[in-house]
Structure 1
Amino acid sequence: MSTLADRRPSLPDRVLAALERVVPKPGAWAFAVRIWLAMILALYAAFWLQLSSASSAAVCVAILAQPKRGQALSKALYRFLGTLVGAAVAIVLMALFAQDRVVLLVAFATWLGLCVFTAHFLQDTRAYGAMLSGYTVAIIAIAHIDTPQSTFDAAVDRVAAITLGIVAITFINDALGSPSIWRTVRDTLGDAIAETRTFARETLTRGDPGSERTAALIRRIAALRGDAGAIAGELDDGPDRAAGARSAIAALYVMAAAARHLRAAVARLSAPTAAVAEARALCLALTEPEADPAAAVARLSDLVEDAVRANDQPLDAILALQRALDFARAAHFAADGHRVLAHGGRPLRDVPLPTHRDVPEALRGAMRVVIAFGLTALLLVAAGWPATSFALVQVAATCSLSSTTPDPRVFAKGVLIGMPLAALCAGIVLFGALAGVQGFPLLAIAMAPVVFAACFLSLNPPTFGIGFILLVFFPVLLSPANPQSYDPQGFLTNAFLVVFAALILFFTVRVILPVSNCRHRAFALDSARRALVEALAGRGGDATTRTSLNSDRLLQFARWSSGSAAVRRASLDRAFDLARMESAAARAHAQLRGLARDDALAAVAGQARAALASVDAGRIREAAAALLATGAPAAPATRLHLARAVSDLTTAAHVAEGQGRFLRRLGIRAS
């Protein structure tokens, strides 16, 4: 008992541990100070310039509140562009339909739906810019539906306020040394490379870790994409460093897949040949940090070329050698990309990282926003509620913001909590702390506690939505002006309307065209089926692009998978096999098109393409064997292309054989 008592922490230690969990870290305090100073600077400049919408400058700072400088710069760029587009569209719509409010509302709802639909197919801050150009029209045109003659002035004020907010937060971030995103990405990418090497080492030594473990690794790698895109604006050579980060991320996808495929190919061989054993050993050596990927690529290229020339290796041996070469090349690109990100220079390649988006889901998201806006307009007009335009602006903004979040329901819950909290804080500051005073210093001091609390909440992932809404809508409801207005009735009306907008959003994401996990999986599966059909027909596209796209589709499929562990595992296995076959078919057709230009290989290349389109495992294997036999005397460079085609044909044959029943259920039948 005394030993256990001695091991228990003392009361002061427990108190300190509790304080460490509750009290924000120094970095959080620095972030809050920067946002508060930028918000106050933007307000002061807006008052000095006598802008009619001075609070919009503070709201702009709140929306651009990001802990890293590159993140804020990237979001600021697309916020400015989105505001310009939205302002132009608002002026055009008001000029065309100012005399008919119903037509104006319908035109705006159509534009808003189009912007939300477009945002679904963009990434990160670009998606935000597209969505912003939609609800900016509401802020400028719908808010002035009763005074159309002031629309142009409102557009100019809006653009000026947004510009002030961007300048203010950029200046404060530079002056106070906001942390750079590229250093964070450098360290996180290094950890991801180490984790991928560990994954590959365990795969080659212990066996396939399974689809769930692979999906977890893909999730870790995919988390770097957004931050990698934000690097470009931070440094003079930022675009090159961002390209290096993208190259490394794409390479990690390939390393994870190639390691699993190499292990599976070796396992299918009754007795691995000396070349296969050497290739496996080279890949195992590449999982160590001090390895030389360039030398491994050169040696593995020789092994692949020799195996094709000798024409005495089984198809699975060619597959194993090619996947080992793929792994080595990916390891080389990963090391090069990380080096460029850390030290500068030019990467070996610049590749895009496309993400998977489902058209039905994008249509549902756009229609959900349009229907919610239309029903709200009908309800408020029928009720004859005053300040209807203010409520419509809030509904348009919150519904649009929710459409680009990974989980709209979680965001809606944060809005439902954050809106009343913002109204409460604004009321306390306006009628409690200020209480009729017209001094700017007191306004700055009174805003500080709320801004700090909102920043702390936004840095904590579980409370991010609450903190973001509090930070953005607190200045909206406070509405700082010069002179400051103290109208309790107007404040209560606005507070009620923003809470009403939160309720509309909360019920919208649950009632209007909801997308369940099952439907998410169905959309992803249908997209994978269509991509596979196109790849089998020879329309698969670039191999690197397909790998990134498939990885993102698998990540989303894993996110929406549910049920028992066995069901989830089986579903993921099928999804991974579909992605493997689709990538293999796309690469095989690309290689076969090139080989068809060689007169000696044209006939067998055509037969191989026809066999691939037939989805017949036996025909595909026969075509691969014929291609291998015919290409043995070819030139060294041709033999390398031929090995890739043979390996991809063999992969497609394995999936067609192992998942034949599932492929038939999808309507992909052998002919």
Structure 2
Amino acid sequence: MREAAADWWQTEFPNWIYVFKMVFAGLLALGIGYGLDLESPRSGLITVFIVMQPQSGMILAKSFYRVIGTLVGSVAIFVFVGLFAQTPELFILATALWIGLCTLGSAHNRNFRSYGFVLSGYTVALIGLPAALNPALTFDSVMTRVTEITVGIVCAGVVSALVFPQASAPGLVRIIRGRFTAFVDLIGATLGGTADRKALEATNARFVGDIIGLEALRSSAIFEDPEIRLRSGRLTRMNSEFMALSTRVHALHQLMNRLHDSRNPSAQLVIDAISPYYQEVQPLLTRSGGEPVMTASDAADAALKLDAYKQELPRRVRTTRAMHADAFGDEAILDFDTASELLYRVIDELHAYTLTYASLVQRRHEREQWEHTYAPKTSLVIASIAGARAAITLIGLSTFWILSGWPSGDVAALNAAAFCAITSAAPDPAKATRTVTMGVGVAVVLGYFYTFHIVPQLDGFWMLAAALTPVLMLAVLLTTKPSLAGYGLGICIFFPFVAVPDNLAHFNAAGYLNECIALMVSLIVTTVAFMLLLPPTTNWTVRHLEKQLRKQVIQACFGKLAHLALQFESGTRDLMHQITMVTGSRPALRKDAFGWMFATLEIGHAIIELRTELHGIRSGNPELLPDTAYTALNRLRETLPALFEQPTPATLAAVLGANNNAIAEVQRAIGPHYRERSERHRLQRTLSYLHFIRTALLDPQSPLQPMHQNQDARANTSSGNHSGASHAA
């Protein structure tokens, strides 16, 4: 019993605290609405359930963007009513275009900023359509609506912050600490040679979600905790450094895998020469007692050890290279230089990441100066489809409303537009809307019972609150269960909508049934729209996002070098996160997409580093490379985008040819003659980037491998035909 009670306390008790808090906040907003004699106090209650989140920081962030979205939408209402009140058709068209644009903006943003765009869109539908029917009351309607929403937001925020507060900051600390510890283990397994490819890819797949999740939690926590605000720049910096570091580790692991799979005898010599360095890294990330580094305080000591190791590494690698130079061939030298360069990059990125982690102990630190934010990447085509879907749904239902003269047609139109905008960001909007529709069905039945059998017999707010509490508690409790959240959300929002009376109560059964039919029709039409109008879960959507992911290589080849690495990294991972969200039940599509993500990250990063190195050579010592080398390198940069935009055997052959030509030109530039160490090192770095690109293109586990097989098949067919002809002759 004691164990069961402890388990319940850890798992279920926080959910019940959340249920009581949200119901209390909702009833508080309802009571204040009645006390202020607002037209529709239930709007405050519904607002509480819309902005409800487990942590107070999330509620504050969502509330902030809800207020901003409502205010922007209110301004749009005044404009549209002023221009088109006399022509309902133009008003509906303008509203549809506005909702479409806001839905597009929502798809282009992340976290609760996305929600702000949604609010500014459907506020025009929720308030604007009724206001257009009575233009003289527009100002009063807008001000009443804003007041009701504000009451709900204030109640949700105050109750969340004062009654058993659940802060976001402790969760953020746990995520940061857990991710650092997990990454230490990953580096030890990867560089120690105990991690296989599948385990590494699964870990990197998890890191994609962690990166997005940490950014979302950080953007919420800054609203509630001044300590998090003081460290916000460092948290953003850690996320950026983590992305770069995980890509480096994966690239190094892939290179070593290729060497292990190589049939070249000299590959084993390279492995034997470089492996001792890998085994020295994990001890740098352990405490004196042998435990791994976990806290930010421990990280300070690890950063000192990493810095000392980084300073000594180039000299030691040069010594090892000189010792094995006679045994290595040309190919092995390239492999050794590339592996050692990647190792140095890993140590450098790990040192920076550890320094930033260690700096979190201090309230203020110089590493806080970090202006490069996470840059999400969204397909304009898919965002435009989401906006067009919402606009088409609104226009379709509005047209039916006008032509039929349906008294509750405006309710159907505005709710369909609102739900099209709200659920467009869900991984499977049709499924999400279906579950909400079922919840609304329950809300309609319960609402009828309450409206016509319970509410007329109640006297005063306290009896109303007592009568509503059981249903509201059940609905909020359902939202805490992932599989039932849609049903709970439908009841939370629409049960108050149909069952809670206005200050001037009306008991009209015909009107009630009309509005309930309108609600059900709006949700059914929304579900059908998501199923028919290019649903986000189609294979076409996944392939399109995968193509956008591959196009990140174009950005790596031709984007401005300033902050390019961070933009490339975050954009690629954001696209992969979107693919992950819509391929939950299709692991084969997800696996293909992850293959392209790794290929894009590896080759894209190598191109960015190659361009950075060439920029330094051109600006500091342009004579270091001959014109033919510059021409060959430019040719490589021109052929790579074509390969990732349209992967075919021909485009792959063109890239490999350009890459081999560039390697030959840089090797000639290095030559056997004497050069300054800094000059030779620059050229060797350039050569290592080119060699890494070649190994990535030839990787047998790469999604480009089928192109090689097609080339080999054609070559064998051509060879067979030729030999057959000779034999016949």
Structure 1 position 250 matched with structure 2 position 274? no
- 1:387 and 1:632 map into 2 onto residues whose CA distance is 87
- 2:631 and 2:315 map into 1 onto residues whose CA distance is 23
Moved more, 534-543 or 411-420: 534-543
CA contact (8 A) 1:265 1:317 kept: no
Match of 1:6? none
- 1:325 and 1:166 map into 2 onto residues whose CA distance is 51
Pick from 266, 272, 285 the counterpart of residue 270 of structure 2: 272
Match of 2:463? 442
CA contact (8 A) 1:631 1:642 kept: no
Mapping of residues 659-670 of structure 1, within 5 Å: none
Moved more, 533-542 or 571-580: 533-542
- 1:606 and 1:372 map into 2 onto residues whose CA distance is 55
Moved more, 584-593 or 206-215: 206-215
Q: Secondary structure of 1:435's match?
A: helix
Pick from 140, 147, 156 the counterpart of residue 153 of structure 1: 140
Q: How far apart are residue 408 of structure 1 and its match?
A: 1.0
Match of 2:194? 206
Pick from 556, 580, 583 the counterpart of residue 605 of structure 2: 583
Match of 2:661? 619
Q: How far apart are residue 149 of structure 1 and its match?
A: 1.3
CA contact (8 A) 1:456 1:467 kept: yes
- 2:274 and 2:10 map into 1 onto residues whose CA distance is 56
Provide closer, same or farther for how the CA distance between residues 219 and 562 of structure 1 changes in structure 2, counting only shifts above 3 A: closer
Q: How far apart are residue 18 of structure 1 and its match?
A: 12
CA contact (8 A) 1:266 1:317 kept: no
CA contact (8 A) 1:90 1:141 kept: yes
Structure 1 position 554 matched with structure 2 position 576? yes
Structure 1 position 185 matched with structure 2 position 206? no
Structure 1 position 219 matched with structure 2 position 209? yes
The aligned length equals 652
Match of 1:649? 690
Match of 1:35? 22
Question: Structure 1: 5+ residue runs without aligned partners?
Answer: 1-11, 666-671
Structure 1 position 82 matched with structure 2 position 49? no
Q: How far apart are residue 537 of structure 1 and its match?
A: 3.5
Provide closer, same or farther for how the CA distance between residues 664 and 270 of structure 1 changes in structure 2, counting only shifts above 3 A: closer
Q: How far apart are residue 123 of structure 1 and its match?
A: 0.3
Provide closer, same or farther for how the CA distance between residues 629 and 230 of structure 1 changes in structure 2, counting only shifts above 3 A: farther
Q: How far apart are residue 354 of structure 1 and its match?
A: 2.4
Provide closer, same or farther for how the CA distance between residues 425 and 412 of structure 1 changes in structure 2, counting only shifts above 3 A: same
Provide closer, same or farther for how the CA distance between residues 587 and 413 of structure 1 changes in structure 2, counting only shifts above 3 A: farther
Structure 1 position 64 matched with structure 2 position 51? yes
Q: How far apart are residue 517 of structure 1 and its match?
A: 3.9
CA contact (8 A) 1:232 1:238 kept: yes
- 2:540 and 2:80 map into 1 onto residues whose CA distance is 36
CA contact (8 A) 1:427 1:478 kept: yes
Q: Secondary structure of 2:269's match?
A: coil
- 1:141 and 1:632 map into 2 onto residues whose CA distance is 77
- 2:680 and 2:484 map into 1 onto residues whose CA distance is 56
Match of 1:8? none
Report the identity percentage. Answer: 21
Moved more, 325-334 or 60-69: 325-334
- 1:487 and 1:596 map into 2 onto residues whose CA distance is 80
- 1:20 and 1:29 map into 2 onto residues whose CA distance is 14
CA contact (8 A) 2:436 2:490 kept: yes
Structure 1 position 392 matched with structure 2 position 413? yes
Q: How far apart are residue 367 of structure 1 and its match?
A: 1.2
Match of 1:92? 79
Q: How far apart are residue 559 of structure 1 and its match?
A: 4.9
TM-score when scaled to structure 1?
Answer: 0.87
Structure 1 position 365 matched with structure 2 position 386? yes
Structure 1 position 455 matched with structure 2 position 476? yes
- 2:454 and 2:254 map into 1 onto residues whose CA distance is 69
Pick from 450, 465, 485 the counterpart of residue 486 of structure 2: 465
Q: Secondary structure of 1:374's match?
A: helix
Q: What is the identity, as a one-letter code, of the residue corresponding to 1:587?
A: E
Mapping of residues 220-369 of structure 1, within 5 Å: 220-267=210-257, 268=259, 269-272=267-270, 276-286=274-284, 288=286, 289-290=292-293, 292-304=302-314, 314-339=333-358, 344-346=363-365, 347=367, 350=370, 351-369=372-390
Provide closer, same or farther for how the CA distance between residues 570 and 506 of structure 1 changes in structure 2, counting only shifts above 3 A: closer
Mapping of residues 159-170 of structure 1, within 5 Å: 159-170=146-157
Q: How far apart are residue 368 of structure 1 and its match?
A: 1.0
Moved more, 27-36 or 84-93: 27-36
Compare CA radii of gyration and give the structure with the larger one: 2
Q: What is the identity, as a one-letter code, of the residue corresponding to 2:236?
A: R
CA contact (8 A) 1:203 1:263 kept: yes
Q: Secondary structure of 1:272's match?
A: helix
Q: What is the identity, as a one-letter code, of the residue corresponding to 1:81?
A: I
CA contact (8 A) 1:248 1:336 kept: no
Moved more, 73-82 or 572-581: 572-581
Q: Deviations over 1:492-550 (max 9, x none)?
A: 22222111111111111101222344212211222133321332345575212322222
CA contact (8 A) 1:55 1:480 kept: yes
Q: How far apart are residue 333 of structure 1 and its match?
A: 4.4
Pick from 486, 491, 495 the counterpart of residue 516 of structure 2: 495
Q: Secondary structure of 1:400's match?
A: helix
Structure 1 position 116 matched with structure 2 position 103? yes
TM-score when scaled to structure 2?
Answer: 0.81
Q: Secondary structure of 2:513's match?
A: helix
Match of 1:484? 505
Q: Secondary structure of 1:596's match?
A: helix
Q: Secondary structure of 1:352's match?
A: coil
Q: How far apart are residue 181 of structure 1 and its match?
A: 0.6
CA contact (8 A) 1:142 1:393 kept: yes
CA contact (8 A) 1:620 1:650 kept: no
Provide closer, same or farther for how the CA distance between residues 286 and 393 of structure 1 changes in structure 2, counting only shifts above 3 A: farther
- 2:90 and 2:114 map into 1 onto residues whose CA distance is 27
Q: Deviations over 1:427-474 (max 9, x none)?
A: 333334323434111121122112211221111222222222221222
Q: Secondary structure of 2:231's match?
A: helix
Question: Structure 2: 5+ residue runs without aligned partners?
Answer: 260-266, 287-291, 294-298, 326-332, 640-654, 710-729
Q: Deviations over 1:581-638 (max 9, x none)?
A: 12221232233223321125664684574153143220243355467679996686x8
- 1:101 and 1:399 map into 2 onto residues whose CA distance is 21
Q: How far apart are residue 278 of structure 1 and its match?
A: 4.8
Structure 1 position 128 matched with structure 2 position 128? no
CA contact (8 A) 1:117 1:365 kept: yes
- 1:490 and 1:94 map into 2 onto residues whose CA distance is 26
Moved more, 58-67 or 183-192: 183-192
- 2:144 and 2:238 map into 1 onto residues whose CA distance is 43
- 1:643 and 1:155 map into 2 onto residues whose CA distance is 67
- 1:378 and 1:19 map into 2 onto residues whose CA distance is 58
Provide closer, same or farther for how the CA distance between residues 246 and 631 of structure 1 changes in structure 2, counting only shifts above 3 A: farther
Q: How far apart are residue 17 of structure 1 and its match?
A: 6.7
- 1:96 and 1:308 map into 2 onto residues whose CA distance is 75
Q: How far apart are residue 27 of structure 1 and its match?
A: 1.1
- 1:506 and 1:463 map into 2 onto residues whose CA distance is 18
- 1:626 and 1:478 map into 2 onto residues whose CA distance is 82
Moved more, 251-260 or 126-135: 251-260
Q: What is the identity, as a one-letter code, of the residue corresponding to 2:346?
A: F
CA contact (8 A) 1:144 1:150 kept: yes
- 1:178 and 1:627 map into 2 onto residues whose CA distance is 65
CA contact (8 A) 2:107 2:425 kept: yes
- 1:483 and 1:77 map into 2 onto residues whose CA distance is 30
CA contact (8 A) 1:93 1:107 kept: yes
- 2:437 and 2:6 map into 1 onto residues whose CA distance is 29
Match of 1:526? 547
